[in-house]
Structure 1
């Protein structure tokens, strides 16, 4: 478990305090105004920067909400996910025994009790790669018997991860293969990009279907998963080797949601293409 201390109006992982001090990044203002590194994403509401401190790599996420969004955040149903959500979810995952990003620092500024700027700093997951890259790299057809068994073991591991998340009342909401990393030497999966993850006493069927459909959609375009692979995943997830009437209904709902995600994504890609053309 990590130990955090309050320092310069931030929460900082004790193991990283000296490193941040040495680089002049142990204050909220320093991280807020930091212009170094490489921007992976940047718009008027959010930025993600990759920064190097010596031989170590970190990711700095910064969120800024204008007044309209701040006022909307009073209503929980209209609240935007920010750095606080991701920070809390990282700590929650750690407490439940799931592997995720290493939380380094968190800071937040408020006006009239409403957050308007928040940030998180996390360390890179070294020697880990996204499953959307890992599976095609290791399991392109044709596979020998050993590779088939290895692939099945990873599919089982992914199904167990999804089941354990849901059994703990967690739904990721962006549960794509690009948001699960593997460190193969340690045989560990890591869950990333958890700012939209929610915790409830029990997870709704709607949320289960959404998470599983997102996995199915991200797997469909890789060209390495067969119908048998998907069925194996489903059997492990449900804990049943038989397709009961309820499980058949669940499978149909997942397939329907997967098609909806595919259509929605196609529309977004077309819109982006037209926008670039203008």
Structure 2
């Protein structure tokens, strides 16, 4: 068994901290068969606790048949968080992690991360924008700043061998007190979340770059996205002149994948701004 906790957490838990964390009550945020995410309070402070209870042989076989390495525990997310921190990409802060058991099918593990108060997901923000047109200069400047920031994050991850696998707007959190919200031109405090399926390599394969960018595109399709926004993102993500990107197979595959995801989620075709005349 191994367990690591920051001092303010370890001092608030009993000696058998692993046992305590695996049964600690909280507000359930997400629960599936082999894992759950809860919002918990420890020592008067709020955290997110992700607990893993092993993995089924069926799930392992399913992932391997699709040429994917299965997620066997919480350490995948912990390694992803540390890699993003090393790259200077804002994410959550680890307050603890641990695992016990040698059999990966029965291994228990957890990570504890500090909550991010006063933040909003970009999905929440995009839904607001999708319901009403951009009427103010401030909204337009914010959207432009977000495009720059997200494209930079995507480029940094992919150039350094990281692919998220769930690269949707709901997994970006914007701090409401971010200077860039009120003083355009200043950096936006945008955090990348939910790295439990992230893959870390020396180089990111083309397949997974397409998957990440298509997921991002799909999740922004109802957010008032324009063709100009898409072209700006293409230029920023590749850091090459736009004339070198238009018509490339990479972006056609991104559009095809985004359309597939949209139809699967909503049961109807999407209006793809990247393909608008």
Q: Check whether TM > 0.5.
A: yes
Q: Please tell me whether residue 243 in structure 1 is matched to residue 243 in structure 2.
A: yes
- Select which of 115, 140, 150 maps to 1:148: 140
* Aligned partners of 2:8 and 2:43 also within 8 Å: no
- Select which of 71, 81, 89 maps to 1:80: 71
Q: Please tell me whether residue 132 in structure 1 is matched to residue 111 in structure 2.
A: no
* Aligned partners of 1:9 and 1:107 also within 8 Å: yes
* Aligned partners of 2:161 and 2:202 also within 8 Å: yes
Structure 2, unmatched stretches of 5+, are: 179-187, 268-277
Q: Distance in 2 between matches of 1:71 and 1:111?
A: 16
Q: Distance in 2 between matches of 1:69 and 1:107?
A: 25
2:272 corresponds to which residue? none
Counterparts in 2 of 1:112 and 1:179: CA distance versus 1, 3 Å: closer
- Select which of 3, 24, 33 maps to 1:10: 3
Q: Distance in 2 between matches of 1:64 and 1:27?
A: 16
- Select which of 21, 27, 31 maps to 2:21: 31
Is 179-188 or 84-93 further displaced after alignment?
Answer: 179-188
1:161 corresponds to which residue? 153
Structure with the higher helix share, 1 or 2: 1
1:272 corresponds to which residue? none
Pairing of 1:198-237 with structure 2 (within 5 A): 198-222=199-223, 224-237=224-237
1:157-201 C-alpha deviation (Å, 9 max, x unpaired): 111111111111111110000011111433211111001111121
Q: Distance in 2 between matches of 1:132 and 1:90?
A: 21
Q: Distance in 1 between matches of 2:22 and 2:104?
A: 19
1:46 corresponds to which residue? 35
* Aligned partners of 1:70 and 1:116 also within 8 Å: no
Structure 1, unmatched stretches of 5+, are: 1-7, 268-278
Counterparts in 2 of 1:262 and 1:142: CA distance versus 1, 3 Å: closer
Q: Distance in 2 between matches of 1:78 and 1:135?
A: 32
Counterparts in 2 of 1:247 and 1:100: CA distance versus 1, 3 Å: farther
The number of residues matched between the two structures is 254
Q: Distance in 2 between matches of 1:121 and 1:25?
A: 17
* Aligned partners of 2:90 and 2:190 also within 8 Å: yes
Q: Distance in 2 between matches of 1:226 and 1:247?
A: 18
Q: Distance in 2 between matches of 1:206 and 1:66?
A: 25
Structure 1 residue 44: deviation in Å?
A: 3.2
- Select which of 90, 101, 120 maps to 2:81: 90
Counterparts in 2 of 1:113 and 1:220: CA distance versus 1, 3 Å: closer
Q: Which secondary structure state, in structure 1, belongs to the residue aligned with residue 210 of structure 2?
A: helix
Structure 1 residue 68: deviation in Å?
A: 3.0
- In the superposition, the TM-score normalised over structure 2's length comes to 0.81
Q: Distance in 2 between matches of 1:264 and 1:25?
A: 48
Structure 1 residue 70: deviation in Å?
A: 9.5
